[in-house]
Amino acid sequence: MAKSYEESGVNLEAGYEVVSRIKKHVKSTDRPGVMGNIGSFGGMFDLGSLGYEHPILVSGTDGVGTKLKIAFATERYDTIGIDAVAMCVNDVLAQGAAPLVFLDYVAVGKNHPEVVEAIVAGVAEGCRQANCALVGGETAEMPGMYDEDEFDIAGFTVGAVEKSRLIDGSKVGVGDVLIGLPSSGVHSNGFSLVRKIVADNNFSYKDTLPETGGLTLGEMLLTPTRIYVRQVLALLDKVDVHGVAHITGGGFDENIPRILKDGQGVKITEGSWEILPVFGLLEKYGSVPHREMFNIFNMGIGMVIAVAPADVEAALESLRASGEDPKVIGEIIEGKGVTFAAE
């Protein structure tokens, strides 16, 4: 019979060690507006200090899905936190909001402080990239719910945008030009299929293949999701952006139409950007129909921005100045859904 919390599988001392380990990572994400310190019951932020006249709060929450299984298999935990941040902040960015605060939730089967620290270090890195403060979170040790070497992670962010600058799709029109921002790889969607392809072909995540460019398969697949916050916020200061689509689960077919009005469709010019080698690998070894790939994965485009034709050059110039490699990938047309044309 269990007589203590530790005998039931929960190590309080490990929990205290985690808090001690992660404080420096949390501190590294401070930004104007943050109030209080880690350890309070709630994370605080002074929105009034930022000078908004009519702020709209935009919130988002997400996880990393079964990409975690690859982190378990490779015992690499330092990138998965970046993914958790990216999935949330890129979503609120699509409404034009600057992410201000982030909170994470990490549930573990057994509390290994060095593993939790690596996860949170990744979260902090994502927050720094997004200029977003990590103001709190929760680490829950849940023996019996997860295996001792497994965990789950989810995140939550709140951003703000001046009401007059809110991107809600109302300005999107036929003839608008679509600019794509490159992804870094698969990002954080489609990994149930990815893992099946790996298993069906008896690959190991330690394998190197011609398509992996000298990396192991695990290293390629764990490449963290790109965060587009600084580049897109800079663009919003230069150009009247009509719509922004974060290309996540459902690929092109589900996400780009989310910014459209009734009677509008999208024509994508395939060949106008590089389809990354990882997608060729998945298509080849998974025998996935080429068109279906665009309905599952980002195919090398992580974010799509709609602007008026007259603003294309200014938009491209701004994005390049932010270190991006933007590509004109299509346009909005009369119709419905997503169609493709060769370049």
Residues 15 and 146 in one domain: yes
Nearest to 340 by CA among 304, 283, 305, 291: 291
Domain count, the chain: 2
Segment 121-151, tens digit of pLDDT: 999 999 999 999 999 889 999 999 999 999 9
Segment 256-272, tens digit of pLDDT: 999 999 999 999 999 99
**Looking at the domain assignment, is residue 91 inside a domain?**
yes
Largest CA distance in the chain: 74
Residues 207 and 159 in one domain: no
**Looking at the domain assignment, is residue 293 inside a domain?**
yes
Domain boundary among 140, 165, 190: 165
Nearest to 152 by CA among 219, 80, 82: 80
pLDDT of residue 276: 96
Nearest to 304 by CA among 128, 204, 197, 169: 169
pLDDT of residue 41: 78
**Looking at the domain assignment, is residue 307 inside a domain?**
yes
> What does the buried/exposed string (b/e) look like for 134-166 if buried means 16 or more CB atoms within 10 Å of the residue's CB?
bbbbebebeeeebeeeebbbbbbbbbbbeeeee
Distance CA 52, CA 47 (A): 8
Which residues pair with residue 56 across a beta bridge? 161
- Domain, as residue range, for 280: 177-342
Neighbours of 259 (CB within 10 A): 24
**Looking at the domain assignment, is residue 1 inside a domain?**
no
Nearest to 340 by CA among 245, 251, 226: 251
What is the domain-level CATH number for residue 319?
A: 3.90.650.10
Segment 11-52, tens digit of pLDDT: 555 555 656 666 777 677 788 888 876 667 788 889 989 999
Residues 161 and 185 in one domain: no
Residues 99 and 221 in one domain: no
Please tell me whether residue 248 adopts helix, strand or coil conformation: coil
pLDDT band at residue 8 under the 50/70/90 scheme = low
What is the domain-level CATH number for residue 47?
A: 3.30.1330.10
Residues 214 and 152 in one domain: no
pLDDT of residue 265: 97
Distance CA 132, CA 113 (A): 24
Residues 198 and 332 in one domain: yes
Residues 88 and 135 in one domain: yes
Task: Find the Cα–Cα–Cα–Cα dihedral 174, 180, 185, 189, rounded to 10°.
Answer: -30
Residues 124 and 214 in one domain: no
The three-point CA angle 17-18-22 to 5° equals: 120
